[in-house]
Copies of this chain bind each other. A is one copy, B any other.
Amino acid sequence: MANYLKLYPIPEDYRFHRGGQISQGLLAYETWGTLNEDQSNALLILTGLSADSHAARHGEHDTAGWWDYMIGPGKAIDTDQWFVICASSLGSCKGSTGPCSPNPKTGQPYRFDFPDLCLEDIANTSVLLCQSLGIEQLQAVIGPSMGGMSALALILNHKNYTRHLVHIASGMASPPFSTAIRSLQREAILKDENFNQGYYSATNWPEEGMKFARKIGMLSYRSAKEWNDRFPRSLKKVPQHPFGIEFPVESYLEHHANQFIHKFDPISYLYLSRAMDWFNGHQYGTPRGANPLNDISLHSALVVGAETDLLFPVDLQRELHHLLLDSGVDSELIVTDSIQGHDAFLVDQQTFSQLVGDYLSASAV
């Protein structure tokens, strides 16, 4: 994987959406396929909160990526046809610069001195990266989950930079229910003594906070319906102590949360989580209340949601679809009956391969 990781130096004069600058900032990114001569086959993938640039393997000996089933030669996002770019988000901890990166001025991690991060910053730096690769306009930006909101941030701030949009399991803004879940996740991390206002270390890690945050998040990633099938009613364990783990769903949460603890940086998690809650595409409407997508120049859009998604319920995709239609974009809305909730785009391979593949094929005509 390391062979394929590339680094893009963010221009020193990049100003964050809410103010602030960083020096020697980097975006870690990967690409698949070949950019054609007229630079007309570029697809940018903007990721969910905890994903990285390794969206797919680069060859048979490479490790699998987080969207491996979707991207590759002959797959829905066909790398024989498309030049695909995926970066770790600015602010993340997967190679790109974030609050856990060293501040060149001090040699110490930025921690809370990292500028306030918005999804607009993820979008803006992604556009700078694409431009540095010689891409004047993207064929499409593809964003699932947080990436869907980052894609809207891109379109709202760079109105001509992409011809098409694939927007999956996301929306114009986080509903209060999702903000509440993320707020509790942030609270769990912040209140862990080991978090220590950002002054944690590898040997003094806010493990309990990260674990609990992950468990809370997991309430919203799948669906109650999927869990009904997954966890039998019969009890599984005799708890080791009063109120110890006993129910199958408790073991599941414990197992997956334990795996997550050291996979993500706590302060990066806070920054990205808050960026999701800050994003509000509606604020772009001028005058206030007008359709914020009125003056974008998108050719078409595919908006996808799953009926069982708790985190970005289908109301949000319907809303976006109607705003797109209203602004003259040829938008298609697909609501799947996938039972995997918010995670459907990662799990329901057949459904999502089909609809993304069909859309990209049609858009290429």
Interface residue? A228 (CB, 8 A): yes
Among the 9-residue stretches A161-169, A211-219, A291-299, A329-337, the one with 4 or more Cβ atoms under 8 Å from chain B is A211-219
A313 to B227, CA, bound (A): 13
Which one of B180, B227, B315 contacts A175 once the chains associate, using CB atoms below 8 Å? B227
Residues in A2-29 with C-beta less than 8 Å from chain B: none
Known: A183-B249, A184-B219. A176 touches B243 (CB 8 A): no
A260, CB-defined interface residue at 8 Å:
no
Q: Is A250 an interface residue (CB 8 A)?
A: yes
A179 close to B (CB within 8 Å): yes
A184 to B252, CA, bound (A): 12
**Closest Cβ–Cβ distance, residue A19 to chain B (whole Å):** 15
Count the A residues whose beta carbon is within 8 Å of the partner chain — how many? 43
The reply on A191 being an interface residue by CB < 8 A is yes
Is A253 interfacial (CB-CB < 8 Å)?
Answer: yes
Q: How far is the CB of A317 from chain B (nearest CB, A)?
A: 14
Interface of chain A residues 215 through 253 with chain B (CB within 8 A): 215-216, 218-219, 224-225, 227-228, 230-231, 233, 242-243, 247-250, 253
Give the dominant DSSP class at A's interface.
helix
A365 to B139, CA, bound (A): 71
Q: Indicate whether A184 sits within 8 Å of B233 (C-beta atoms), given known contacts A176-B248, A208-B191, A228-B176.
A: no
State A224–B270 Cα separation when bound (angstroms).
Answer: 23
**Is the beta-carbon distance between A253 and B183 smaller than 8 angstroms?**
yes
Judged by a CB distance under 8 angstroms, whether A186 is at the interface is yes
Identify which of residues 160-210 in chain A touch chain B, using a CB-to-CB cut-off of 8 Å.
Answer: 173, 175-177, 179-181, 183-184, 186-188, 190-191, 208
10 contacts between A and B (CB under 8 A): A175-B228, A176-B227, A176-B230, A176-B247, A177-B227, A180-B215, A180-B218, A184-B219, A224-B310, A225-B315
